[in-house]
Amino acid sequence: MLAMLGVAAPGASVAAPAFDRSAWQADHVALKRALEQDYAHLAWVASPQSGVDLPALDAEAQRALAEARTDTQARQALRTFLAGFQDGHLSLLDPFEQASDTASPTAVDPRTLGASAGCAALGVADEGRHDFSLPLETLAGYHPLNDDADPVLRAGVLSLPDGHTVGLLRLHEFDALRYPGLCHALWPQLRHADSTDDMRGTLARGWVAVIAASLRRFQQDGVDAVLVDVGDNPGGDDSGDTLTRLFTPQPVASAVLQVSQSPAGKPYLDEQYERLDDALRNHRPNATARRLLTTERQAFQASRQATALPACNLSWAWRVQHDWNGPTCRRLVPAGTSGGPLPSPAVDTLDDFLIAHRLDWSQDLREHWGAWKGPVYVLTNAKTASSAEMFAARMQDNHIARIVGTHSGGYGCGFMSAQAMPELPHSHLRLRVPNCVRLRADGSDEVAGIRPDLPVAPRRGEGARARAQRLVDTLIGDIALH
């Protein structure tokens, strides 16, 4: 009876604080203010082109909070509000737990260990996505490219009924640290590296070399087309841009990159400015390199300065929609491209590799550019996200590949630099807020997801193998047309 009356019985635990609706409503206001300041995709989501109705979402969140009776209901109202933005990177995380006094474990040098333990200490992880996203290897006519029991990379050739052949390449993540077979294969070399950074660099170069070798093998064997499977691929790093050069001998245009006009965008701008400045001051660039470096350094300096200037007010986003292509300010500043400050043919002529790489990250892969010369298809699904979407978008926008499958997840550009997450004052929920935008060739925001050129949507009652066969039938028809 005492507990029911709200009076603590002797020895009873302290009751949880009473539900405070006004505090949750204040959190909702604070959440919107944080989005207005730092969320790079807000102007896109607030446009009719995005397909999202932010004023309606906001009104629904206000209604849900007004009707909430518990913290759980109020918390769900805020999470539902953010889910409506259709941005896979945007989310609310639980509050931090109370810090403990437990000391951090002593770092282990991976080079002192065997292959399995050493790869794990290096950060290599097996997340179980190695197989094709559809069971293509179970179809008649498939044979693996290599006979290894545990290949570094899933790759094979599918002989089609009409006599054509398709090279199949599985990229389950755009991060060399997610390919444990590669780490094990390279361990005799990795364990003699000068540092863990060198180990990771060697691993990244080895991963690209394995992909390029598979493509050259397809070319040598005379396959008619290549299908790159990035279904269920959650993303990774900037290789989603740079790897596209392996699939064509033609120049590839990277996406225009923009970051938030706020302190959230500044660390990335600082990093690139300092790298360009260092190349100018300390690496004796020739006249062409000096001109390119100076131009880009000035551009990054202008963007750095812009992050400290008063930015436009995006609070209109909760009341009305504004056309993405109209004059409305987006609260974004230029940040080069998704492939570095200045990927361009002019950089390709530079002899100094370090300087070239400071401008164009794909220079690391130059020896493998154009490893495949021929038709390409990219398989996507709803779990194709982030860097994998960058890959699909670059392949589509540069007319290197046709996209087949289903619409991608809609993550777009997430984070060009780490930052402290804003914390809501009452609930202490932490806001994971993207700070960058990659623009498509048509000027839209990549966060909208990648729409397939050749849709192969699931059908009711259809098994995965039947859908894989339907995918192949789609390829047969398209190869015949092209």
Q: How many residues does the chain have?
A: 482
pLDDT at 6: 41
223 neighbors 166 (Cβ within 8 angstroms): yes
Which H/E stretch holds residue 258? Answer: strand 256-260
pLDDT at 312: 93
Is residue 100's pLDDT more than 90? no
Tens of pLDDT along 29-72? 999 999 999 999 999 999 999 999 999 999 999 999 999 999 99
pLDDT at 279: 97
User: Of 91, 46, 61, nearest to 434 (Cα)?
Assistant: 91
Residue 106 banded pLDDT, cuts 50, 70, 90:
confident
173 neighbors 127 (Cβ within 8 angstroms): yes
pLDDT at 435: 97
Amino acid at 52: V
pLDDT at 450: 98
224 neighbors 378 (Cβ within 8 angstroms): no
Tens of pLDDT along 181-214? 999 999 999 999 999 999 999 999 999 999 999 9
Task: Give the rounded percent of residues in the chain with a pLDDT score beyond 90.
Answer: 88
151 neighbors 223 (Cβ within 8 angstroms): no
pLDDT at 39: 98
Instruction: Tell me what the mean pLDDT of segment 8-16 comes to.
Output: 54
443 neighbors 189 (Cβ within 8 angstroms): no
Is residue 11's pLDDT more than 60? no
Instruction: Tell me what the mean pLDDT of segment 341-366 comes to.
Output: 93
Residue 17 banded pLDDT, cuts 50, 70, 90:
confident
Is residue 429's pLDDT more than 60? yes
22-31, 94-103, 267-276, range with the lowest pLDDT: 94-103
CB atoms within 10 A of CB 362: 25
Mean pLDDT of the residues in the chain = 93
Residue 229 banded pLDDT, cuts 50, 70, 90:
very high
Tokens of 468: 């894989």
DSSP state of 250: S
Domains of the chain listed by start with CATH number = 21-93 (no CATH), 127-314+321-419+437-481 (3.90.226.10)
Q: Cα–Cα distance between 39 and 43 in angstroms, integer?
A: 9
pLDDT at 7: 44
| Angle of CA points 170, 482, 219, to nearest 5° | 45
Most distant CA pair in the chain, distance: 86
Dump strand ranges (E) for 346-414.
Answer: 376-380, 401-405
pLDDT at 454: 98
Residue 478 banded pLDDT, cuts 50, 70, 90:
very high
pLDDT at 151: 76
**Crossing angle of the two packed helices 54-67 and 21-38, in degrees rounded to 10:** 160
Q: Cα–Cα distance between 169 and 177 in angstroms, integer?
A: 18
The 10 Å CB-count burial string (b at 16+, else e) for 244-270 is bbbbbeeebbbbbbbbbbbebbbbbbe
CB atoms within 10 A of CB 171: 26
Q: Find all residues with CB under 8 Å of 50, minimum gap 6, and list them.
A: 44, 86, 324, 445, 448
pLDDT at 14: 58
Residue 444 banded pLDDT, cuts 50, 70, 90:
very high
Is residue 132's pLDDT more than 80? yes
Is residue 149's pLDDT more than 70? no
pLDDT at 13: 54
Tens of pLDDT along 357-373? 999 999 999 999 999 99
Instruction: Tell me what the mean pLDDT of segment 383-387 comes to.
Output: 98
